[in-house]
Amino acid sequence: MKLGTVELRTGEERLACLRTDGNVVIAPREFGDMQRVIDACDSAIAALRRFCESPQSEGTALSELRLLSPIRRLRRDVLCTGWNYWDHFYESEGKREGQDVPKPEAPTFFTKGPDVLIGPHDDIAFDPVISGKWDYEAEIALVISKEGRSIPREHAMAHVFGYCLANDVSQRDLQRRHGGQWLKGKSIDGTMPLGPWLTLRDDVELANVTLECELNGAVMQQASASQMAFGIAELVSELSFGMTLKPGDVLLTGTPSGIGNARTPPVYLKEGDLVVVRATGLGELRNRLVAKDLGSYETPARHPQPNENQRNFA
């Protein structure tokens, strides 16, 4: 089953399911949002499946809706994995401007600020004043289903709710400027598409998934998820060691070779570029880089709070 978040023509955001016929079933309001479904997990999924598969549930054409990021309110930073495809690690050797490191013996983790999040078809905010080296990174993302700390590898998959796609748009010069750490160079507002649908864990066989990134019609990255240096269970187990993972946490699992910064000459994103990230069974992200002033002072907007009056699932 594929779950998502859509915006109706009235502007209301609703939880939705994608049916095999390509139509979308809008869930009743009492289901709440994706975070609430993840919190309820098995009971919510069973109720949603019954509703979405019912012949009485009316389908809506996707063209009548705006598809949003599946998860709309993050509880913490986006969790990320670096160098999880060895061909990507090796392609950048000698191109890290003096910040090369030995081949890691364990997964490399970092985070992205939560305000990077945008929808699967939204414009990527682009400002050349912020950075002169914008890069694409196609990734498979997973969402945590239930809380756990120091999760044994043999239990790790039970903590995975489902999978979607992400584009870990990065600013390479900011990475170098700030000591080689990745937080700043990957946390620019409005730059990480997520989606399009959250596909439940048991409905995806990652060994058969091919991940791809296309820039203005040219394929730049292509790899099998089976090429990951550290598999999903190992990532979840290692990341949770001494650190509690919570329902709704988003973990990016790394990008394969083909990034712009490692090419000769380098290929950096520019205004107007169209970046498409796709993967077998997970759909595609389709985003254009559009100019936005990110360097001017701006006070934050208040985010709407979830409805606390929504009933429990039956």
Per-residue pLDDT tens over the stretch 98-139: 677 899 999 999 999 999 999 999 999 999 999 999 999 999
Is the entire prediction scored with pTM above 0.85? yes
**pLDDT for 53 beyond 80:** yes
Q: What pLDDT score was predicted for residue 308?
A: 47
Cis previous bond, 120, omega within 30: no
What is the share, in percent, of the chain residues with pLDDT greater than 90? Answer: 86
Query: b/e for 263-296, b at 16 or more Cβ within 10 A?
Result: eeeebbbeeebebbbbbeebbebbbebeebebee
Residue identified by tokens 């090429």 is: 227
Domains of the chain: residue spans and CATH: 2-68 (3.10.330), 78-291 (3.90.850.10)
Q: Please give the average per-residue pLDDT across 299-304, as a whole number.
A: 64
d(CA 306, CA 15): 13
CB atoms within 10 A of CB 181: 12
Q: What pLDDT score was predicted for residue 73?
A: 85
Q: Please give the average per-residue pLDDT across 62-80, as a whole number.
A: 96
Q: Which of 210, 203, 204 is nearest to 225 (CA)?
A: 210
pLDDT tens digits, one per residue of 248-285: 999 999 999 999 999 999 999 999 999 999 999 999 99
Q: Is the distance from CB of 17 to CB of 52 less than 8 angstroms?
A: yes
